[in-house]
Structures are given as C-alpha cells and as structure tokens.
Amino acid sequence: MDTHPPQAATAGPSPILECRNLSVSYETRAGLVPAVVDFNLTLMPGEAHGLVGESGCGKSTIALAIMRYLGRNGRITGGQVLFDGRDLLTLSPAELRRVRGADIAMIYQEPMASLNPTMRIGRQLAEVLTVHQGLDRASALDRAAAMLERVRLADAGRILAAYPHQLSGGQQQRIVIAMALLANPKVLLLDEPTTALDVTVEAGIVDLIRDISAEFGTAMLYVSHNLGLILETCQRLTVMYSGEAVETGPVDEVFRQVRHPYTRGLFASIPVPSADKASRPLVTIPGQLPSPTNRPRGCYFGPRCTFFEPGRCDDAAVPMAQVSRTHASRCRRIAEIDWDAPPAGAVTREETTIGRTVLQVEGLSKRYHTVRANEDLTFEAREAETLAIVGESGCGKSTFARILMGLDQATSGSISLMGEELARLPVTKRDRVTIRSLQMVFQNPFDTLNPSQTVGFQIARVLRRFGARMSETQIRERVLELLDMVKLPRDFAGRRPRQLSGGQKQRIGIARAFAGDPAVVVADEPVSALDVSVQAAVTELLMDIQRRNGTTLLFISHDLSVVRYLSDRVVVMYLGRIMEQGRTGDIFAPPYHPYTEALLAAVPIADPTITKRKVVISGEMPSPSNPPAGCPFSTRCPYAIEDLCERTVPPAQIFGEGHAIACHLPRETLLAMEPIIIAADSLNEAHTHHA
Amino acid sequence: MTLSSPPVPTTHPERASWRPTIARLPVVVALLALVWCSLVAYVVFPDALGPAHAAALIPSIPAALVLYGLGIVSWRESAIARIGLTLVMFWILMAVAAPYLPLVDPNRPIAPFTPPFTAKAGHFFWLGADMRGRDMLSRTLWGGQRVIVWGITATACAYVVGVAFGLMAGYLRGWWDEILSFIANILLSFPVMVLLILVLNFLGQSGFSIILAVTFSSAPGIMRIVRGLALVESTRDYIQAAQTRGESAPWIMVVEILPNVRGPLIVDACLRLGYTTVAITTLTFLGLGLQPPDPDWGLMIKEAASSALLWKFAYMMIVPSVAVSSLILGFNLMADGLREMSLRD
C-alpha cells in the first residue's frame, strides 16, 4: 500500500478529483427527476472546496454520486467523475470498494450512524487498517491511538476501549474523522459534518478540519448550508441552486464580489453582525425553490430574481459565464447588474419602545432527581421586548420554557406573569386568561402542526378556545385575517400540513400562537430547522407581528447571529445557570463572561470583512447530573481560578444598566477584555486595542 | 420588505372543509354504516323490523357497490389491496343481496347428496346439495351473513375498547398505564381459544357472547398497539401546542392523537377481521357459536364433517371452506395492500 504523503503521488497541477458535466436523476413515481444537472468541479490536491446551497439543491447528491452511493433509485445520467484521471463511473464493484475505503472517504452529519454501536472504538478503528493495509491488530491499535491524538482526542486509551454511545457527539465525530484519515485518503467528502453539534464543539471540529488539509494534504469537498463555515474552512466554493451550480470561484472573491443574484440573495438574508433589525434589516428572497419536476425554463432562479428579464432569462438554459479566470456565474446579466447597490426591498423600522415588566422570574430552580436543569434563574421581560435566552443543548433553556408554559413544575423559585404566580401551576390548573396570554412557537416545522387537521381548523381551534363568543362567520373571517398576517394565501385554510413547505408550516405556527392575542410568546428555536433564506423571512415576520402587537417575545436559541439581530436583551445560560445577561449591545461587546466570549468566537460569520479573535476552549459540557459545585463553566474556562471557580458559585458583577456577569474574575480583568468580532470599518479603533 | 406569497399549487382547493379529518370521509363512513346497520337489523333483530324486514337490505346493495367502486378507484396504486377488496366486497354484496337473488330457500330439503352440476328433482344444483338435500349454492351465499355481521361487530367493539384504553395508557401514562397494561398482559397470557371457550361457556351461546369473547381476546392486543403509537405521538410538538392552549385530555386523545395513528390501525383492523372470522367459524364448528338451522359457513363445515369423509361428498366441506378462506384472504390482502401503500409515501 502506498504510504507516501499524497502530495507526492499527485504532484503537479493535475486535479485529484474532477466532475465533468455530471448529471444525476432519481427515479420516483412521477418519473425520472433530475437532482443535479450539468455539474462541474475541479478539486486540486490539498484544496478544500465548499459546496453550499439550501435543502433540495442537490449538494448531498453530488457527494453521494462521487462515492456512487446513490441507492437503488439514483441514476447517474451523464458526465464523468474522474479520480486521479480514472473515471469512477466505469469501475467494477471490486475496484470501487478499494477506492472508497482507501482513496476517498466520506463523513456524514450523524456520527452515530457511521459507528457500529456494538463494537468498541478501538476495534472499529483498527479494522480500517487491518482490512485496507493488512496490518496486525497490535500495530493497528497503536496507529489508531496515534491518530486519536492527531484529531485532538485526549485520553486515547479510555476512548479506544469505549463504545460509541459512551462518547459525546463531538468526540464521536472526531472518531469518524480519525477513521476516515487512518486509510490516508486523498479526498475527504464531508456532508454537513458539524450540523448536529453544538456551536462550541463545532468550532473545535472546524478547526480540526481546517488543519487536516494542511497537515495531511487531503483534498476536501465540504458540503454545508452554512456560508460562514465555508468561509472559515475552504479556499474555493460552489453555490448550488435547484440542482445547478450557479456560482463558483475562490471563497474570498465570491464573498467580496458576488456575481449571481441567488448568492447575493443568500448573503442579504444572513444575519451578519452589520445587520440590524431597525436600520439594516434582512432581505429575504421572494418565492420558493421550484420543485425538481417542474423547474422553470431558462434560469431556474428566474421567477424569484429581481433582475429577471423576460425573453432573455427564460428562453434557454443559461450557461456558466466566466467572471474572471477563476470565478464563474450562471447569469445572463452579469455585466448589467449593479452588484454593489444595496439589495432592494429593505425596509427600515422604528425602534420599539419597551414598556413595563410583564414577566418576572426569581430564583427559579428545577431538579429531576440529581439533574439540575435550572438553577437559580432570575430575570425579567418587559412589554414589547424581545428577550433572547441563549445557550447550547443541555443548558436548560427548554426546561425553563416547559415550566413557564405549565407543562412542568419548578422545584423552587417563582415566575410571575403580570402578578400571577405560575412556577408550580400546571397548565391544566391555569385559568383561560393566563393560558391565552402565554403562547408558544415550536422548533420543528414538521412537528408543530397536527398532520391530520386542516390549517384552518387548527387556527380556528385557538379562536374557539380563547375568543369570547365569536360566531362561526367571525371565526372564519379572523382565520383568514391571520393568514394575511403571516403572508400566506387565504386558501391555505383548507390545506393540510403535508401540502405546505417547512417555512409555511412555521408561519402557520406563528399565526396559531398569535391568534389569541397573547401577552407573551415563547419561541423555542423557531427558525433553526429552516433554510437560510426561509429563516430570514420567518424571523422578519415574527418580529413584525411582535412589534405590531406589542407582544413580549422570549426567543430561545443557540444561534448568536439571529439573537444579535433581533433581540433587545439577552440571557446567556450554561448548564442550567445564567452566566451573563444584559442588553444585546452589552452582551456582544466587552466585558464578556468567559463563556460568552467562547460562544461568540465559535460562531462562524459569513463576512470576510470581519475578523474574529480566536478563543480556544477545550472539552465539552459536563453532565448536568454531576455539575461542578461552583461555576458550571469552570471545567472548560481558560481563565479558571484554581480552588475558587469550581468550588464557589460566582457572584453577579454589575456592569452598566442591567448588565450582569456571573464570574469570579476581577472586575478589571473583565473590563480589559478585547472585542471578539472586529469589523473592517472599525478596524482602526480596534487597532489601537491590538497594539 | 418583500415577502411575496409563495406560488400556490391549485391541485386541491378544499376551500370549504375545515372540519376535523374524521369528517373528510363522510361518504365512506355513511355507506359503511348503512350496510352494516341494515345487515345487523336484518340478521339480529328480524322481528323488530316487522313488514319492513323483506326490503331492509335493498338500499345496501347499491351502497356496497359504491363502496367497492370507491375502493377500487382510490387504491389504484396497489393491486393486492384491490384483489383483497374484491374478495371482501363480493361476500358483503352476497350477504346483502342474498334475499333478492333467485335462490331456493337455503333450509328447504330437496334432494340429499346431490353432487355439483347435476339436475335433480327439477332443480339444477350448481354446487350440489348437502346430506339433507339443501341447495349448497344458496346456503353458501346466505351463509356469509352471520359471520360478516358478528365478525365486523365484534371486531368493532374490540376496537372501541382497545383504542380507548390504549389512548389512556399511552397519553395519560402513570397509574393508568400501569393498571391497564397489567390487565392487558393477564388477558394476553391466555391462549385465545381457551379464553373464547371460557367466555362462551360462562355467558351461554349467543351472538352477544361472541362479541364479548372477541373483545376480551382482541382488545388487549389492540390496546398495546395504540398505546405504543400514542406514546410516540405524545412527544410531538403539536400535542404540546394543544396542551399549552389548555385542551382537555379527551380532546387531545381523540382529535389530536387518534387521527394520526389511524394508518397502522386500519391495517391491523383488516388483519383482525380475518382473525375474528376464523375464530367465529371455529367456534361454530365446535358447536359453541351460532346455532342451526340457519345457514352458516362454520355450521356447514361442522354438519358436513362426517359425510365429507367420503371423497365423493367432500364438496360439502370444500365449498364452505373455500368461502370462509376467501373472505379471510380478502381481509389479509387488503391489510397487506394498505400497508404497502402507506409505506410508499
């Protein structure tokens, strides 16, 4: 087996992987549906190429087609996939098997699905070497242990002896990467490898992936929906839309000089730090992705494009046109569009005025046996305010929502909603007015609506329960008004959820939550399951309605970009405790809580003009059933003070109006922290800090 | 801000109906109810109908034909389901049409031991005559009536009980679940036939005892299925949405959960109709079920048991056996086809 560094084997300018006019179709009951049309890609050794697009754009299909893993109904209908000059599409199954394990490896979104749950990690890793390279068991295990170190997993001995379920998601994904790297592949296909992970864990994996190409010389095809991640990991990218590559080029060039209206639309719908809900709101892409069976003539993006020109954009298939030597776009009007003009359709809003306190939480704790889900939460939310509760999975934000909604009861402490005590009052014992004033928008669009009932029935049900003595005609009229409010056609009332897209379902969920005119709406990750452009539309809609009705919005999220964009105040939680709270501006500027600092540094930002200060935190969240006695973050905190942080609960230090940081660090240390996110236009100011 | 509404495919403009899903199939439900109610009235309460008795089943004939047509149209994806439906609807149609077909009285002795396809005593016997000389064709077509009536009724009763308890165990959990599951486990530990025989011996032989016996033996299994489905469904967000708007437990169980678990239940119901048909036929054969002289497949098999020992007279047993088997096969094929269609989407 060839063990030299891969660069040596493929020296010179010849690409390691090439797709030429690749077309893939799926056989369905409706006939052969094209999933990828005429796709071209050139991947050089050691290069990382990002493949970006929204769900259904064909990006995963490409990765699967390269591996020829398309399944029973997938067909490669044209083109070539050249690996090191050989066409993979003509290989026999036996040859293909050799290529798959040794030369091209794939890493999927769900690490648990790639690991055998009944085998110890050590055996699974060693098997790669014993099968592909004919090593004996002992030396294979040694190599496996060495590889674990290279993917930065400490305590290799314990991990090799563990079963997959005994490891955390981040560790599992590192194991999968280690397993792929053991065979020393020349190409690594990564299909959303960090999507299932928490953001601070994701940051570590992204760091690792970035180093792989440098250290191992592996070429990578990185499939992701997250433009920020692509910016951080790749040198080149291809933007996909409806099965076609619409724009391709070096990452920096594409980000700075967008030359396709779809890419431009994507950028305008991402909440980057320079966006602001009042002065620079997000701009959404109108319309929906066409169904693969019913794509428009000419440019697939045409019907949604603001630069659409009838007769030119819809006459025949649009070819890729070179913008520069390395940058190409599938647009007929590259030369005519003013690419630097601000995107049309942005509407600025007034700042909202925030009223009296509506919700007061004090000393709220919730324990399940030994698990401390919520510990001493104290905060308040005011009328017309958006209060974001931020944290990674397991931080207790959803437990708090359940207690607030009355689906669970607190162990101690109080929640008072306009003077009424709710902490231990289950929803079945609450009166109608209380229930009505507290409603919820759920996370999963595929779960939020009852699949068997029509949309109209489900909205009308809320009105029947809460609306005082409305006649059938009035209810009907109000349902239609609510559909208008969430910008859906009125005839959706008669539809069933399966006839709706994810974003449309989420809109119905919003209409349902606001139907009873509640005082407080809890939104539990309402957009995290949606595509980027749909996220923007739903976020904007939620905010518009909230502002118009003067509703208090509790926005529960792990996504700091969205939080920064829409919230007025932020509560940062970690392992059941509040780490920091304050106005949004205060949270995103120093002084930071060390956890907030790490969280901010971990969020990928799709803006090349922004530089981030690097903060490395190690390890993962400790188990909530056995948290440290003191500060829960002390086990990972780079600033942890020995003998103090892990023993004593930190005091809340007050900085400015309502800005509290629960930390033992001296005030001066916190005040001296440097900003994490530095925008180019403020670079001059930042420079003085850096110097 | 531009939030133009997405394009609206105009395939199903179900503009008018916002009702819960149960009412979306009102035609099917009404037709089934018509067929079933009139059959029950005809078979079980003949005296209550008085002079209307003779005409009681006439409206059910077109109803059954329409049902068959609807099924054939809407199940065009699955040939198996359509074959099953054809078998089942054939026997249901025969059950409702028997009084109006040009058949001789099934209880009138004409010519004993006449083999099939022979004319005797001025009558052509397509399927022969039994040991008492009664026309087998007439008895076979009439004979499905009671099995179908009691089979469907008993299965429906078992379903009402099983679904109710299953929803309670799966949604309310806690003590309800403990107690109901414990009772179900005890009932499931009895061999089915022993349970049936025990109940029938205890309550005496009647159609109503059969309903009770079938309910006792089937409901625990149905409860288990519904409980499992309800447990899964309870974790979904729309159930939480219903809870957070203060819906009562019965509403959540019946309106929110039940329609969403109907798929697997319909498949299971078809299978269970088959089991029940087997059970009723077996009980009748053992002399524990329905009593002579009216024609019934189980009874026909039983009466033919001794005569059919001779190969020459085996038809007396083969004919009703094929009839009952084809009905059961029909139910099973329907179940298979429905499952196949549900998996395809």
In the predicted model, what is the mean pLDDT of residues A516-540?
A: 87
What local confidence, expressed as pLDDT, does residue A275 receive? 75
Quick one: average pLDDT of A287-300?
84
Q: Do B238 and A449 touch (CB under 8 A)?
A: yes
Residue A164: is the preceding peptide bond cis (ω within 30°)? no
Q: What is the rounded CA–CA span in Å between residue A482 and residue A486?
A: 6
pLDDT of B218 > 50? The answer is yes
pLDDT at A99 over 80: yes
List, for residues A405-436, the tens digit of each pLDDT value: 999 999 999 999 988 999 999 998 999 889 99
Average pLDDT over residues B82-101: 93
Q: Inform me whether the pLDDT recorded for B34 exceeds 60.
A: yes
SS3 letters across A457-498: HHHHHHHHHHCCCCCHHHHHHHHHHHHHHCCCCHHHHHCCHH
Q: Contact A296/A302 with Cβ under 8 angstroms?
A: yes
**Mean pLDDT of the A229-252 span:** 91
DSSP 3-state of A217: coil
Do residues A159 and A99 make contact, with C-beta atoms less than 8 angstroms apart? no
Per-residue pLDDT, averaged over A532-547, amounts to: 86
B300 pLDDT more than 90: no
Give me the residues paired with residue B281 across strands: none
- A274 to chain B nearest CA, in Å? 18
Count the helices and strands in chain B (H runs, E runs).
Answer: 13, 2
**Length of chain A, please?**
691
What's the CA gap between A296 and A299, in Å, rounded? 7
Mean pLDDT of the A627-635 span: 88
Question: How far apart are alpha carbons B338 and B260 in whole angstroms?
Answer: 16
All residues at 6 or more sequence positions from B154 whose CB lies less than 8 Å from its CB, including other chains: B210, B211, B213, B214, B215, B218, B276, B280
Task: Taking residues A181-210, report their average pLDDT.
Answer: 86
Residues of A numbered 296-325 whose beta carbons fall under 8 angstroms of chain B's beta carbons: which are they? 303
pLDDT at A681 (0 to 100): 59
Q: What is the mean pLDDT of chain B?
A: 86
Q: What is the mean pLDDT of residues A550-556?
A: 93
A340 vs A253, more confident: A253
- Inter-chain touch A407–B240, beta carbons under 8 Å: yes
- Write down the pLDDT at residue B257: 94
Measured between beta carbons, the chain B residues lying within 8 angstroms of A303 are 7
| Contact indicator for B257, B167 with CB cutoff of 8 Å | yes
Structure tokens at A618: 């190690």
Q: Which residues 335-374 of A have a C-beta within 8 angstroms of B?
A: 344-347
Taking an 8 Å cut-off on Cβ atoms, the answer to whether A452 and B20 are in contact is yes
Question: Is it the case that residue A646 has pLDDT exceeding 90?
Answer: no
For B259, the closest of A449, A452, A466 (CB atoms) is A452
Q: How far apart are CA A291 and CA A612, in angstroms?
A: 39
To the nearest whole angstrom, how far is the Cα of A324 from the nearest Cα of chain B?
32
H or E element in which residue A94 lies: helix A93-98
Q: Is A209 left (phi over 0), alpha (psi -120 to 50) or beta?
A: alpha
Q: Of A461-470, A502-511, B183-192, which gets the smallest average pLDDT?
A: A461-470
Chain-centroid distance of CA A191 in Å reads: 14
DSSP state, residue A12 = S
Q: What does the pLDDT read at residue A404?
A: 93
B22 has pLDDT over 50? no
Interface of A with B in 430-449 (CB under 8 A): 430, 432, 435, 438-440, 442-444, 447-449
The token pair at A55 is: 């769900």
Q: Which residue of B has its CA nearest to A536?
A: B3
Please state the rounded mean pLDDT for residues A645-663: 90
Confidence (pTM):
0.84
Interface contact A287-B20, CB threshold 8 A: no
pLDDT of residue A163: 93
Q: What is the mean pLDDT of residues A228-236?
A: 90
Interface confidence (ipTM) of the complex: 0.82
Query: What is the percentage of chain A residues whose pLDDT exceeds 70?
Result: 95
User: What is the structure's pLDDT at A370?
Assistant: 82
Mean pLDDT in residue range B240-246: 91
The top-scoring range by mean pLDDT among A641-655, A669-683, B42-56, B296-310 is A641-655
Compute CA distances A559 → A270, A379, A389, A419, A600, whole Å.
Answer: 12, 20, 10, 31, 10
Q: Give the mean pLDDT of B301-307.
A: 82
> How far out from the chain centre does Cα A611 lie?
20
Three-state SS string over A358-409 comes to EEEEEEEEEEECCEEEEEEEEEEEECCCEEEEECCCCCCHHHHHHHHHCCCC
Over range B165-183, report the average pLDDT: 94
What does chain B come to in residues? 345
Q: Would you call A451 an interface residue with chain B, using a CB distance cutoff of 8 Å?
A: yes
Cβ burial, residue A542 (10 Å; 0-12/13-18/19+): buried
Chain A: residue whose CA lies nearest to B77 = A29
Are the beta carbons of B247 and A537 separated by less than 8 Å?
Answer: no
Which chain B residues have a beta carbon less than 8 Å from that of A457?
Answer: 18-20
Asked whether the predicted pLDDT for residue A687 surpasses 90, the reply is: no
Q: Can you give the pLDDT at residue B3?
A: 37
The 10s digit of each residue's pLDDT in B140-150 is 999 888 889 98
Q: Is the pLDDT confidence value at B16 over 70? A: no
Determine the pLDDT at residue A512.
92
Q: A605-609, A630-634, B94-98: which has the minimum mean pLDDT?
A: A605-609
Q: How confident is the model at residue A347 (pLDDT cuts 50, 70, 90)?
A: low
Chain A and chain B share a number of CB contacts under 8 A equal to 120
pLDDT of residue B162: 96
- Residue B21 is predicted with a pLDDT of 41
Residues of B with CB below 8 A from A501's CB?
A: 6
Output the pLDDT for position A55.
82
Instruction: State yes or no: pLDDT of A7 exceeds 60.
Output: no
Q: Check residue A343 and give its pLDDT.
A: 67
Q: Which residues of B touch A490 (CB under 8 A)?
A: none
Stretch A294-307: mean pLDDT = 87
Is residue A409 less than 8 Å (CB to CB) from chain B? no
User: What are the tens digits of pLDDT across the range B105-120?
Assistant: 888 888 888 888 888 8
- Residue A309 tokens read as 């020109």
**The residue type at A194:** T
Q: Do B12 and A499 touch (CB under 8 A)?
A: yes
* φ/ψ bin of A42: left (φ > 0), alpha (ψ from -120 to 50), beta (otherwise): beta
* 3-state SS, residue A610: strand
Q: Do A487 and B5 touch (CB under 8 A)?
A: yes
Q: Chain B: residue nearest A290 by CA?
A: B7
Which pLDDT belongs to residue A689?
44
A668 Cβ neighbours under 8 A, 6+ residues apart? none
pLDDT (0 to 100) of residue B23: 42
Residues in A closer than 8 angstroms to B14, CB to CB, are 454, 494-495
Indicate the DSSP class of residue A102. I
Distance CA A448, CA A288 (A): 21
Residues A125-131: contacts with CB under 8 Å, at least 24 apart: A125/A160, A125/A175, A125/A178, A125/A179, A125/A182, A128/A101, A128/A179, A128/A182, A128/A183, A129/A182, A129/A183, A131/A101
